[in-house]
């Protein structure tokens, strides 16, 4: 099976690393919204686990990994405690957090694609669930925080597109039977680098062609 690309211990460590950085972003948003510690924990858990939970429910992998592995549940709580006590310091390294978040994006879009394919989905739908795995938690986070999800806003750097590209490359590599442990780095790194470039150059998706709305922009 493709999910055996890495040893269980390596895969588990990669999952926990991605969960941690996603949880940090959720907890930081909760601080900016002036949420209490419970609200911080909720946003951290939702951001870190929401995408994977959605994927597992769709493909019938029940109970979802988020409810069978204690480490998956505890890691967002660790991130919450760090942000709770050290949020000024964490805010100062937001750039570094963004880099790790980009790494998590690359890892999750590929692992989600692989897991969905192994559960019998076609390549197109597997890649779609790979995208959902990577960005789903962030969408839920923004909705709970009463914000328009970042990936829907024209004034935010590209986020879903790098994950989409990474998932599509993973699907193509599965199609041509070239995806294995070492080559998994290709889609992961591609999504990671695209996200970093989007952050650095502020790449954004185009809006409607010949848009002439006189309405005030909603930022």
Encoding tokens for residue 70? 């204690």
Q: Give the pLDDT of residue 4.
A: 65
CB 76 within 8 A of CB 45: yes
- The top-scoring range by mean pLDDT among 3-7, 131-135, 179-183 is 131-135
pLDDT tens digits along 33-86: 999 999 999 999 999 999 999 999 999 999 998 899 999 999 999 999 999 998
Q: How many residues does the chain have?
A: 219
* Mean pLDDT along residues 161-184: 95
pLDDT at 6 over 70: no
- pLDDT confidence tier of residue 170, bands split at 50, 70 and 90: very high
* Statement: residue 211 has pLDDT above 80: no
Q: What is the pLDDT of residue 49?
A: 97
Angle of helix 70-92 versus helix 37-59 axis, rounded to 10: 130
- The predicted pLDDT at position 70 comes to 94
Helices 160-175 and 185-201, axial angle in degrees (round to 10) = 160
- In angstroms, rounded to a whole number, what is the distance separating the alpha carbons of residues 159 and 133? 13
Least confident of 39-48, 93-102, 143-152: 93-102
pLDDT of residue 212: 66
Mean pLDDT value across residues 171-181: 94
- What's the rounded Cα separation, in Å, for the pair 38 and 120? 38
Confidence band (pLDDT; 50, 70, 90) for 12?
Answer: confident
Confidence of residue 193 (pLDDT cuts 50, 70, 90): very high
Three-state secondary structure call for residue 94: helix
Task: Indicate the average pLDDT of the chain.
Answer: 90
Residue 2: what pLDDT?
A: 60
Contacts of 63 (CB under 8 A, 6+ apart): none
Which residue bears the tokens 């914000």?
147
On the question of pLDDT at 216 being above 80, the answer is no
């Amino acid at each position: 099976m493709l999910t055996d690309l890495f040893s269980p211990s390596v895969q588990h460590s990669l999952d926990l690393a991605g969960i941690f950085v996603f949880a940090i972003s959720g907890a930081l948003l909760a601080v900016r919204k002036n949420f209490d510690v419970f609200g911080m924990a909720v946003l951290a858990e939702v951001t870190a686990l929401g995408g994977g939970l959605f994927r597992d429910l769709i493909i019938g992998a029940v109970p979802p990994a988020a409810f069978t592995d204690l480490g998956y549940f505890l890691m967002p709580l660790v991130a919450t405690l760090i942000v709770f006590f050290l949020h000024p310091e964490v805010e100062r390294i937001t750039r570094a957090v963004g880099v790790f978040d980009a790494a998590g994006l690359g890892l999750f879009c590929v692992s989600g694609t692989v897991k969905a394919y192994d559960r019998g989905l076609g390549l197109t739908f597997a890649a779609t669930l790979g995208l959902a795995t990577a960005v789903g938690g962030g969408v839920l986070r923004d909705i709970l925080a009463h914000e328009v999800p970042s990936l829907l806003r024209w004034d935010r750097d590209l986020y879903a597109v790098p994950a989409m590209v990474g998932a599509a490359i993973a699907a193509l590599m599965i199609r041509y039977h070239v995806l294995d442990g070492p080559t998994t780095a290709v889609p992961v790194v591609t999504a990671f680098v695209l996200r970093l470039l989007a952050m650095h150059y502020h790449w954004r998706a185009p809006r409607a062609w010949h848009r002439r709305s006189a309405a005030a922009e909603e930022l």
